[in-house]
Amino acid sequence: MLHYRGRAKRVLESLGIQDYDRIRVRRGRLTYEGILIPRPEILDDDHIILKLDNGYNVGISLNGAEIELVKRSSIIKEERAELGRFDPRKPKVPLIVTGGTITSRVEYSTGAVKSYERPEELLDKVPELADIAYVEYVPLFAEFSENLTKDHWTRIAEEVYKMLKGGAEGVIIAHGTDTMHYTAAALSFMLRNLDKPVILVGSQRSIDRPSSDAVLNLIASAKMAAEGEIADVMIVMHGSPSDEFAYAIRGTRARKMHTSRRDAFQPVNEPPLALVSRNSIKVINPRYRRRVKGESHVFLDAKMDDKVALLYVWPGMPAELLSDVADRFNGFVLAGTGLGHTPKWIIPKIKEIVGMGKPVVIASQCLFGRVDLKVYETGRRLLEAGAIPADDMLPEVALVKLMYVLGHTKDMDEVSKMMRANLSFEIGSRISLRDFPPCWGVCNGL
Amino acid sequence: MLHYRGRAKRVLESLGIQDYDRIRVRRGRLTYEGILIPRPEILDDDHIILKLDNGYNVGISLNGAEIELVKRSSIIKEERAELGRFDPRKPKVPLIVTGGTITSRVEYSTGAVKSYERPEELLDKVPELADIAYVEYVPLFAEFSENLTKDHWTRIAEEVYKMLKGGAEGVIIAHGTDTMHYTAAALSFMLRNLDKPVILVGSQRSIDRPSSDAVLNLIASAKMAAEGEIADVMIVMHGSPSDEFAYAIRGTRARKMHTSRRDAFQPVNEPPLALVSRNSIKVINPRYRRRVKGESHVFLDAKMDDKVALLYVWPGMPAELLSDVADRFNGFVLAGTGLGHTPKWIIPKIKEIVGMGKPVVIASQCLFGRVDLKVYETGRRLLEAGAIPADDMLPEVALVKLMYVLGHTKDMDEVSKMMRANLSFEIGSRISLRDFPPCWGVCNGL
């Protein structure tokens, strides 16, 4: 089989080259060697795509190029993936697919990103998965993650639960990256007594782009799910701008910190759980739930009240904003400034809302560090008004947790107690100096 | 003079030691040498405070200590500061004081932080300032920065303008850290044609605490204001957890990223402008306005409309939230997810608000990276609805800029044009790989 056309097809055919053959291309002073990848949509008839040994796909113009067949592919890619997926001697790892860039490709004519027409394309493109796990493809829905709600979170949690009870050694969830960390937090609270890895994976660039992060992310996810010792909800995504390793980041500590970089996800207030390459898993953070062999004893506790608002305060924010929306929500997370402060005129309004039986949790918009309402007058007045400090929880995690807590109780004392208890490693007792990354000078050799 | 009492007073007096003398204290196996600092409030009668040569203040118990006078202070600290402040041969640098931790001290009995009773205490504590500049103390107001509004920003801008027109070589503004970056952005837009340095400085820990960052921050600020080449609005605060250097960060690119660390401020999407130590200024980022010698040609353009809201979206955020508050504001900044997305059900509401003649600007809650509304369907629909992308502006900067822009025009095309134009280096054309700090592994030697 050869999925090229026009000039590229003529040149490749004349050399007897087929899809997935290993070839060498010399062009000017550069030489590329890699696997010929069938191009999903052809921009022109002149370029081919090679998958290099470092995992990158590169597009190469055939104009003026010398091509040489290095090694014939012994088996076509789809067959290999197909065989692997159905090799039950490997650890069983379902891939639950929910949508996002990782299930999309670039429409080369417009530059826009569109969903696959045939969902299994994802597995076909990463035949290496079959070497690691017995991967079952489980399409659940196809939605970009900005459009998800707590009902989607519940559906994912139910599916994960079903898979784990059905004997899966771990579960991978392919997911859009925009709100992946919110979903990760939700699953962390909903899946109690977790004893197998649950991995969220996505990609910042679609899999057909030369710079895609999808392949490494999927391979690292499969390794963590099939072989890893850590039985938490994790996000597994690139750990650096290169294509060398991924981080496994705890679901309650992850945040998307960059719009487009492949290493956009970052742990906040703790180190990554592990560093995962194609060949190894290096555990960095010793604080995790351990995998238990055999039958899973996970249970599902997916009750959530999504009538919770997350509001970031700003200088001059009018107190009336809170009155405007007070009726619409059963609880509020305010991302305050610094140690967790709000403008002073907001505090009586918070007291009023707390008086209505609606909890107000104070996180910090700094994101890193810990809320402390005992240092300054503003903080102490917030405590007196009944606000609940979020400790070192991310505002987004505090939001999801408050949804979860309000799904279980509306009793204000209970809410406060649960919010301040560590349910899923979302609260830590100590933040190391190493856990704050903005060491611009250190990283840049100053 | 000796500002100690009880046992400490008796011991020190018996050796003829006075405030600001250089002394050596041996206690067990440790030896400390430094300047004896008068203690502002005495917790017990047993401890003294030494200012070490590395700039740190340490508290030392006299219990079992051997004390030795090393060098008599030739001049008392207040005199030295007083003299320096009135040495008109040095560059004239007013210190405008607005409040915050840097103008506060710890009440040792409760651990709470309180404002100074006598504002000049700040200058008395950093006599080194007198070596750098002719510092004039200008108390403007005393407010913790979470309580500031655009009226405070205007007052500060007016005062800076007056000082620069009055011959100042640069201006320092002592300010609370909670919302310092918002004020910095506001001044960056209000002070047009700036040709002298304008420095915001604060401290994360009050100046009387051993680990205070106030001294280095003030010295670095004075250096930048008196000697530096960069004539932008900047935040000058610790650049690392040590006490060795500060960063000068552009006012439109700074964000407080940690609740409590001394190096909490961080540049986003560009390098720091400069690295400032006690002895040197090292310019890192070549993109800045240059100081012009002689008379300042700055002008003040402080018109702002503060009826602007900053809302961070979250999964499941109800569209009705926007309706609830639409009447209260003349413009909105939404911090979307990823490249700048909102839940799809929000988009018709955005269109409605834009139809009311109220601009809606889309930033990204990732903070790092650039908004791009052309890649995904959601983004393109946001553009069709009339949303204005914030490019690589921080959400907080987009908020302040929209206030500024709406202070000048309500014409939607004009607003869009101004928001997308680079007024004060708040928008950049290129983000370097180095400008994203979350290289946990790199920083930690992995």
Residue B347 sits in a domain whose CATH number is 3.40.50.40
Assess whether A34 and A116 both reside in one domain: no
Residue A101 to residue A213: CA distance in whole angstroms = 10
Assess whether B241 and B284 both reside in one domain: yes
Q: Which residues of A touch B394 (CB under 8 A)?
A: none
Best of B101, B178, B250, B372 to substitute, by most chain A Cβ atoms within 10 angstroms, is B178
Assess whether A147 and A294 both reside in one domain: yes
Assess whether B313 and B292 both reside in one domain: no
Domain assignment present for A155: yes
Q: Do A440 and B266 touch (CB under 8 A)?
A: yes
ipTM score of the complex?
0.84
**Residue A195 sits in a domain of what CATH number?**
3.40.50.1170
What's the pLDDT at A46? Answer: 81
What's the pLDDT at B88? Answer: 76
**A375 contact B CB<8A:** yes
If we measure between CA atoms, which residue out of A318, A322, A348 comes closest to residue A333? A322
Give, to the nearest 10 degrees, the angle between helix B150-165 and helix B180-190: 50
Is residue A269 over pLDDT 80? yes
Distances (CA, A) of A77 to A3, A123, A126, A219: 13, 10, 9, 16
Task: Look at residues B277, B300, B323 and tell me which one is the last residue of a structural domain.
Answer: B300
Residue B262 to residue B239: CA distance in whole angstroms = 8
Out of A44-48, A438-442, B81-85, B266-270, the most confident range is: B266-270
Average pLDDT over residues A151-159: 98
Residue A94 to residue A218: CA distance in whole angstroms = 12
Average pLDDT over residues A184-207: 95
Please identify every stretch of chain B with a pLDDT value under 50, giving residue numbers as ranges. Answer: 42
Task: Look at residues B275, B300, B325 and tell me which one is the last residue of a structural domain.
Answer: B300
What's the pLDDT at A114? Answer: 67
Domain assignment present for A335: yes
Catalogue the active-site residues of A.
Answer: 101, 177-178, 256
Residue A152 to residue A141: CA distance in whole angstroms = 9
Write out the DSSP string of A197-227.
-EEEE--SS-TTSTT--HHHHHHHHHHHHHH
A35 touches A18 (CB < 8 A): no
What's the pLDDT at A122? Answer: 75
Tell me: the pLDDT tens digits for A158-181?
999 999 999 999 999 999 999 999
A337 touches B146 (CB < 8 A): yes
Residues forming beta bridges with residue A258, ordered by sequence position: B368
- How many CB atoms within 10 Å of residue A282? 12
Task: Look at residues B281, B300, B319 and tell me which one is the last residue of a structural domain.
Answer: B300
Residue A299 to residue A308: CA distance in whole angstroms = 24
Assess whether A166 and A209 both reside in one domain: yes
What's the pLDDT at A120? Answer: 67
Domain assignment present for A239: yes
A315 touches B179 (CB < 8 A): yes
Assess whether B164 and B267 both reside in one domain: yes
DSSP label of A130: H
Is residue A443 over pLDDT 90? no
Residue A139 to residue A137: CA distance in whole angstroms = 6
Assess whether B272 and B344 both reside in one domain: no
Domain enclosing residue B12, as ranges: 6-71
> Which residues have C-beta within 8 Å of that of residue B89, sequence separation ≥ 6?
B134
Tell me: the pLDDT tens digits for A220-234?
999 999 999 999 999
The partner residue sitting opposite A146, judged by closest CB among B343, B396, B439, is: B343
What's the pLDDT at A42? Answer: 47
A102 confidence band (pLDDT: 50, 70, 90): confident
Residue B334 to residue B363: CA distance in whole angstroms = 6
What's the pLDDT at B42? Answer: 47
What tokens were used for B317?
A: 């955020």
- The sign of the torsion formed by the CA atoms of A347, A349, A351, A357 equals negative
CA distance B73 to chain A (A): 35
Active site residue B177: yes
If we measure between CA atoms, which residue out of B434, B396, B403 comes closest to residue B418? B403
If we measure between CA atoms, which residue out of A33, A37, A17 comes closest to residue A25? A33
- How many CB atoms within 10 Å of residue B125? 24
pTM: 0.84
Assess whether B184 and B226 both reside in one domain: yes
Domain assignment present for A442: no
Residue type at B60?
A: I
What's the pLDDT at A208? Answer: 76
**B272 contact A CB<8A:** yes
Give the total number of structural domains in chain A.
3
B227 touches B95 (CB < 8 A): no
What tokens were used for A23?
A: 């070839």
Mean pLDDT of chain A: 89
Assess whether B216 and B275 both reside in one domain: yes
Active site residue B178: yes
Q: Which residues of B touch A312 (CB under 8 A)?
A: 310-312, 335, 395
Assess whether B245 and B195 both reside in one domain: yes
Assess whether A53 and A114 both reside in one domain: no
Better-scored residue on pLDDT, A67 or B251: B251
> Which residues have C-beta within 8 Å of that of residue A444, sequence separation ≥ 6?
B271, B434
The partner residue sitting opposite A146, judged by closest CB among B256, B318, B342, is: B342
**Residue B23 sits in a domain of what CATH number?**
2.30.30.520
What's the pLDDT at A193? Answer: 97
Q: Which residues of B touch A177 (CB under 8 A)?
A: 338
> Which residues have C-beta within 8 Å of that of residue B98, sequence separation ≥ 6?
B140, B141, B142, B143, B145, B148, B152, B156, B173, B174, B175, B176
The partner residue sitting opposite A240, judged by closest CB among B368, B396, B441, is: B441
Bridge-based pairing state of the strands B274-276 and B281-283: antiparallel
Residue B398 to residue B394: CA distance in whole angstroms = 6
Is residue A186 over pLDDT 90? yes
Domain assignment present for A1: no
Domain assignment present for B442: no
- Residue in chain A closest to B183 (alpha carbons) equals A315
Q: Which helix (H) or strand (E) holds A246?
A: strand A246-250
* CB pairs < 8 Å spanning A and B: 254
CA distance A311 to chain B (A): 7
Domain assignment present for B426: no
Domain assignment present for A431: no
Assess whether B290 and B331 both reside in one domain: no
CA distance A337 to chain B (A): 5
DSSP-derived 3-state class of residue B281: strand
Distances (CA, A) of A71 to A16, A21, A407, B166: 11, 6, 59, 78
Q: How far is CA A208 from the centre of its chain?
A: 19
What tokens were used for B376?
A: 């995904």
